[in-house]
Structure 1
């Protein structure tokens, strides 16, 4: 058959309608049988929240004062807890608590003995096989799924009995808390108690040794005296540095005054007697007096080599030079007198040299005091090394004991929390079983049966027509014989 027109297909299906209907009914019947013959399975589920608690916080080892820290992310914590939930140990515990006969009666008939322990596996192979099969079925029926973008984990269990399914989920939550306590619980409480007692004894021995050393060498206020001597030496050293800085400054001032005095003349022309006084000469002399008064005022506030004093003195020199020029032009007699600037500079130089001598004497005295204090410190420090070693040993023992005592208190608190099963797991939704079975889905089975039945019926009819050697349509006759069909008569049964 090579003609697959719609007419030919409909003709074939009508001709083999009995086979089409039979194939359709057979598939639908199989689907219905499967839907109603399968044992209905009920599902119980619950939700728990997993928080970042003491189980996932890193705590330092014994004697370490580093505070607890968190080095894992929330996703890693949730994945770790899911692995604990899906562990074989929890499955075996749940089977043992619920009972193999209640969970899987068919397996209990094969192995009526209780679930064997690991050491009894060789002696009771039948019970071991039943246990292995029960664990496999349990792990297949138990599921755990983390909720997206949250710290909530959903779990569930499928069983033919909804009450059993609910009890299994509740048991798994309780065993999960016990497992967390076993894995993350405080295990070294007795060890910490022993270590704390040992540290207390060592601290007492160190304190007794230090007290005996102080008594033997009569060192009671050693640190206080050393601190006092060091403070005195620090103060004297500060005075010494200040004296050295002052001496350097005074030396520069003496040098500056000496250079200045060398440039000045002891006598200076005061005025020139002429027949007629020049107004410019009077103005220059008045300006000179003002500048000298200004110099005395600046010397009272600034040092000899300061820029303001140097600038005023430069102006004085210029004014004196100008006065000399005016007097020379006047042609009169000049009157010579003592130079006030020279006298003042000489006095300042004498004062600076006296101050320099006093500063140098103070420096020598400070050095002598420092040497005396150093000798006293060296005398007291003959036993300093031993005393410091004993003190450091006592401090180390005390720090170790304090750290162990703090860690012991934390361990006792954590141990109390473990005994009460207070973990970072909270039940969001308590275990509850569904009222309707989750498997099988009879509606889905029926829809699939109808679809597959229609396809099977059509396929059976087309296959029957393809394998048949009969010519059922005029087009088939023309295609096979190669002759045109002149007329076709319908077949009528008598």
Structure 2
């Protein structure tokens, strides 16, 4: 029996319920549940009826790729022209639309009294610290009532704003879009013009120093134009070498001719006979003998001895004349040989030409040596000149590039300040005619929450009651049949 009693006490601490018992047990807690339900439902309905009607205004913005999203490197051409995809552009424009600075500009433009009159009244009598808190509260309220929606692969941004006053809702949203068009220019606009100008001025200063070093280098080495002088020296050297070769060829020619003249000059007589008179005595004698023969023939016969002797003399004379034994000069004159004079004149001219050519050869050799030394000096100075020229060229190119970029940046800013071609307001906000309120949703939530809370309270109260509430629960808990039950007697 003791064991059964202990078992009974353990069973009594853990009552076992059936589904049918819950209705009976919860009915016992109906007053507590009704009180909890009534209190929570009244509070929920009070909260629901405190909800005010708001009027949502909507607008939409078309966003396209613009010049401000095209990458322009500050220096060089790496990745020039790179552009983000459309989703990145939409995301950046959405962030600009939702920035706190833009909301602050809207509040400052319209005034706190036009948007939130209650906060404006508090702001008028608040201290500076409290005023900052009130402005923060206004920005938070503006952010809570502002809705920005986007869709993938769609260049449209939908913007909505809720306010108690429909006119204020449309006014705030349109003002937000107008300030957005201005604000985004400052965010996305190229603000590098001052930086470009400073960089350009720095390069110009370095270029002036490089020019001064370049001029000092030229003046110190007495060079007018390094490249032109180098080219002219190369051309001059080629000309001098060509002249030298020509002079050497002429010198060899004149020297050879002079040697030949020297050999010919030894073989030519300085004097030559100008004319001579031939003595005709033999011929005259022959004629005289023939005349005598004819005279003898007039007296003698041809075979007479005197005629034959005379014929013998004539024959002998004819042989002497024919053999030239009777020929002789009666007078002869000599003079200077013109060939000798010509050879002598040509020899003198050739000798003078040879001397002149040798002097010219020596002069050309000296000039060639000077040109060669000058070229060697320029070759020695060329690395320094190339370094100075490279510095000047690079700095000039940088100055030119930064000047062009500065002008382009300034022009882009001016164009961006006057137009927003890639951002178009598709639909401006109009004052809404239909408002929205959370009264019904809050009332339904209050009803459901009050009923659920009351049920939970009833269940908790049911489980916390001591004892066995029903005979069936006692029978299941004690595993004993219940023969009878009596009502609890009132005290």
TM-score of the aligned structures, taking structure 2 as reference length: 0.51
Of 391-400 and 83-92, deviating more is: 391-400
SS in 1 for 2:162: strand
Instruction: Map 1:189-338 to 2 at 5 A.
Output: 189=193, 195=200, 199=204, 222=229
Preserved CA contact (<8 Å) 1:206 1:394: yes
1:39 to 2:52 alignment = yes
The one of 103, 106, 111 equivalent to 1:94 is 106
Q: CA deviation at 1:113?
A: 7.3
Aligned match of 1:157: 161
Q: 1:18 to 1:389 in 2, by over 3 A?
A: closer
Q: 1:183 to 1:378 in 2, by over 3 A?
A: farther
Aligned match of 2:138: 134
Preserved CA contact (<8 Å) 2:170 2:430: yes
Q: CA deviation at 1:436?
A: 4.4
Aligned match of 1:305: none
Q: Deviations over 1:75-109 (max 9, x none)?
A: 66555544444433222212111211222222211
1:70 to 2:82 alignment = yes
Aligned match of 2:359: none
Q: CA deviation at 1:125?
A: 2.7
**Any stretches of 5+ residues in structure 2 without a counterpart?**
1-11, 240-366
Q: Deviations over 1:131-158 (max 9, x none)?
A: 2322333333334455335565444433
Preserved CA contact (<8 Å) 1:24 1:457: yes
State how far apart, in whole Å, the 2-side matches of 1:50 and 1:425 are.
Answer: 5
Q: CA deviation at 1:424?
A: 4.8
Instruction: Map 1:397-436 to 2 at 5 A.
Output: 398-422=396-420, 424-428=422-426, 430-431=428-429, 435-436=433-434
Q: Deviations over 1:148-196 (max 9, x none)?
A: 3556544443332333233333333333333332234344546766847
**Any stretches of 5+ residues in structure 1 without a counterpart?**
115-122, 233-371, 490-494
State how far apart, in whole Å, the 2-side matches of 1:455 and 1:7 are.
Answer: 20
Q: 1:427 to 1:441 in 2, by over 3 A?
A: farther
Q: CA deviation at 1:11?
A: 3.2
Q: CA deviation at 1:414?
A: 1.1
TM-score of the aligned structures, taking structure 1 as reference length: 0.51
Aligned match of 1:9: 22
Aligned match of 2:445: 448
State how far apart, in whole Å, the 2-side matches of 1:18 and 1:27 are.
Answer: 14
Aligned CA RMSD, in angstroms, stands at: 5.2
State how far apart, in whole Å, the 1-side matches of 2:22 and 2:386 are.
Answer: 110
SS in 1 for 2:124: coil
SS in 2 for 1:44: strand
Preserved CA contact (<8 Å) 2:68 2:190: no
Q: Deviations over 1:10-31 (max 9, x none)?
A: 3345566566556555544444
Aligned match of 1:475: 472
Q: 1:200 to 1:477 in 2, by over 3 A?
A: closer
Instruction: Map 1:366-385 to 2 at 5 A.
Output: 379=374, 382-383=377-378, 385=381
Q: CA deviation at 1:433?
A: 6.5
State how far apart, in whole Å, the 1-side matches of 2:234 and 2:431 are.
Answer: 78
